[in-house]
Amino acid sequence: MMMGFLMIAMELFLLANMSSSFAINSIQSKSIGAISKSSGWHDSSIKAENDRAEAACASGYATTDSNDAADSKKAEKINQHFIRGLLDTIQEELDKWMINGSLITKTRIYSTLKQVERQSMDPELVILASRMIRNAGLPLEDPELSEKVDRSIVGSRIPGRGESETSSNDIKEAATFASNVIARSGSETSFMGARLGIGGLDEILLEIKRRVWIPLAAPPSLLQELGIQPVRGLLLFGQPGTGKTLLARSLSKILSPMRPPTIVSGPEIMDRFVGSSEANLRKIFDSPPDLYPQYATRDDAHVLKNVALHVIILDEFDAMARARGRSGQGDAGVARDSVVNQLLAKMDGVDALKAPTLVVGLTNKRDLIEPALLRSGRFEVQVEVPMPKTVQQRVSILKVHMDQMYKSGRLLVQDVADGMPAKRRIQQFPSEQLARYDELLNSLAEQSTGMSGASLAGVCRSAASRALERSVSNFAGSFSDEGEVASSTEMKDCLVRKDDFEQSIQEMIIMQNFNKKEDDKVSEDD
């Protein structure tokens, strides 16, 4: 009872403070009153008012002699805070609209936009609201506004809602710093396959460098002058085992040097509960990982976190992004459709993002992807990751997987350095005919026509385990009855030979033919 009385007294005290503070800006307080009466956002308006009252009290706003410039700055801040609340409402309504398509929801969205237009002191927030709406698939009624949205391109680099207010100069400086970091991380040899451990895809890497990295590394002011924006979506498609996942992970290290990428697979996002799949997806976009410590500890970290690129890798993308309406009946189809809608909204509605975001989709079933996602502005850059076609490409892949065994002297070839295990064997059997490392690579590449990167990696693994098997069985046989190791020379003799690779290639060919026959059988049955 006493407690309740105290709380009411405190509220009255706050309201009294509020009314004196807001007498200074009567237009502002009138508009707030109108909103809480006329719309359904009563609670959030009260909360906003309380927040503002607290801010005003804390800063002595109600009591100090008014300095016009400082007052108007504060009024602007309060207004911005309030408008951002309205933007939140628009986003929530858009999310709802995408699922229910209801006319009432749509009307509410437009009327909230009108409110933003009428009451925002910052024209950029009006553009932000309009962009959210248009990008979610709703047309803008006012052509002039629509044109303004077209002209504004810095949207993806302004801070997310609820973030601390920062001057546009700070944001510009931080964005320039972030693009410099990307420029450094991708310069010189960074995009070379040999350095990344990716074979036979140098052309693909260069294409991605040109189309994705360059705009990210360029100064934002230059992009603005050119009227272009960095790409938001990259789709890597191609047959299984061609290195898409490998490529995306390596690329993310170059493109996102300030924070770790988010890596998820399509099936992980899908959830059997209605609404949960979109929520999973939204969470990924809304929770970029923290900056790496060297950036998180900087003085400007609070601005950097809003401008540092967030790379999201969506592996097995087709599992979540199938064409709408064709996903089949039932809950799974409905869930997928709304995930696609959510993805469209997130990729387009730049305002809802806490940081500029690049989405990398990976799939071997590009035909199944919703066409709307493939339009420009979304997954605008689409790159096919091909099967290795030439001997040279297969050599590059084999090299990625054999270099380690060669350098450590575990590969039985002629040109091996002194003191290595293979050298000992060569000295023991000097008459043995051995190929040089490059000759071996060429010969294996010629024998493995039609194999993917994953199959070639498999061949190398299998060859190594043959050598291991040989020496481990010798090693095991060398245990004395007492369980003591008689000699460890067998481990030193663990060498991978040419015939280990050749036998593994033959096995792989047999397995691939078998899998192909099985696939053909399945498609005939269909």
Ligand X SMILES: Nc1ncnc2c1ncn2[C@@H]1O[C@H](COP(=O)(O)OP(=O)(O)OP(=O)(O)O)[C@@H](O)[C@H]1O
Could you tell me how far CA 507 lies from the centroid of its own chain? 38
Q: Determine the residue with CB nearest ligand X.
A: 453
Instruction: Give which of ligand X, Mg ion, none residue 241 binds (C-beta under 5 to 8 Å, depending on kind).
Output: ligand X
The torsion of the CA quartet 370, 373, 375, 379, rounded to 10 degrees, works out to -130
C-alpha–C-alpha distance, residues 309 and 320, integer Å: 23
**Residue 314 — left, alpha, or beta (φ > 0 → left; ψ -120 to 50 → alpha)?**
beta
Min CB(403)–Mg ion separation in Å: 23
Burial class (CB in 10 A: 0-12, 13-18, 19+), 482: exposed
Which of ligand X, Mg ion, none does 78 bind, CB closer than 5 to 8 A by kind? none
CB of 395 to ligand X, least distance (A): 11
Q: Which residue's CB is nearer to Mg ion, number 244 or number 324? A: 244
Residues that bind Mg ion (CB under 5 A): 244-245
d(CA 371, CA 384): 17
Tokens of 87: 């933007």
CB-wise, 316 or 493, nearer to ligand X? 316
Task: Point out which residues bind ligand X (CB under 6 A).
Answer: 198-201, 240-246, 364, 397, 400, 453-454, 457
Selection from Mg ion, ligand X, none that 265 binds (CB < 5 to 8 A by kind) is none
Distances (CA, A) of 223 to 41, 94, 219, 227, 360: 38, 29, 7, 6, 21
C-beta closer to Mg ion: residue 269 or 440 = 269
Strands 310-315, 357-363: parallel, antiparallel or unpaired by DSSP? parallel
What is the Rg, in whole angstroms, of the alpha carbon atoms belonging to the chain? 31
- In the complex with ligand X, which residue's Cβ is closer, 148 or 249? 249
> In the complex, what is the shortest distance from the CB of residue 315 to Mg ion, in angstroms, rounded to a whole number?
5
- Whichever of 76 and 507 has its CB closer to ligand X, that residue is 507
- Minimum distance from CB of 87 to ligand X (Å)? 38
In the complex, minimum distance from the CB of residue 509 to ligand X, in angstroms, rounded to a whole number: 17
**Closest CB 389 distance from ligand X, rounded Å:** 12
Nearest alpha carbon to residue 397 among 253, 116, 200 = 200
Q: 395 is in the binding site of which of Mg ion, ligand X, none (Cβ under 5 to 8 A by kind)?
A: none
Q: For the CB of residue 289, give the shortest distance to ligand X in the complex, in Å.
A: 22
- The smaller minimum CB distance to ligand X, of residues 45 and 242, is found at 242
Q: How far is the CB of 506 from ligand X (least distance, A)?
A: 20
Residue 300 vs 384, nearer CB to ligand X: 384
Answer for the pair 226, 234: CB distance below 8 angstroms, yes or no. Answer: no
Min dist CB 314 to ligand X, Å, is: 12
| Contact indicator for 441, 402 with CB cutoff of 8 Å | yes
Beta-carbon contacts of 165 under 8 Å, excluding residues fewer than 6 positions away, are: 77, 80
Enter the tokens of residue 17.
């403070």
Alpha carbons 123 and 71: distance in angstroms, whole number: 19
Q: Which does 364 bind (CB under 5 to 8 A by kind): ligand X, Mg ion, none?
A: ligand X
Beta bridge partners of 479: 485
The residue type found at 452 is: S
Q: How far is the CB of 198 from ligand X (least distance, A)?
A: 5
- State the binding partner of 255 from Mg ion, ligand X, none, CB within 5 to 8 A by kind: none
| Residue 119 contacts which entry, Mg ion, ligand X, none (Cβ below 5-8 A, type-dependent) | none
Decide whether 193 or 233 has the Cβ nearer to ligand X: 193
Of residues 237 and 406, the one with the C-beta less far from Mg ion = 237
From the list Mg ion, ligand X, none, partner contacted by residue 243 (C-beta under 5 to 8 A by kind): ligand X
Strand partners, 236: 362, 383
Name the residue nearer to Mg ion (CB basis): 109 or 387: 387
The interface partner of residue 246, options being Mg ion, ligand X, none and the CB cut-off 5 to 8 Å by kind, is ligand X
Tokens of 282: 């939204």
Q: Round to whole Å and give the CA distance between 344 and 364.
A: 21
Number of Cβ within a 10 Å radius of residue 367:
8
Q: Which does 261 bind (CB under 5 to 8 A by kind): ligand X, Mg ion, none?
A: none
Report which DSSP code applies to 121: S
Contact in structure between 73 and 121 (CB atoms under 8 Å): no
Residue 130 dihedral angles phi and psi, to the nearest 5°: -65, -40
Smaller CB distance to Mg ion: residue 131 or 244? 244
CB of 245 to Mg ion, least distance (A): 3
Is residue 128 within 8 A of residue 155, CB to CB? The reply is yes
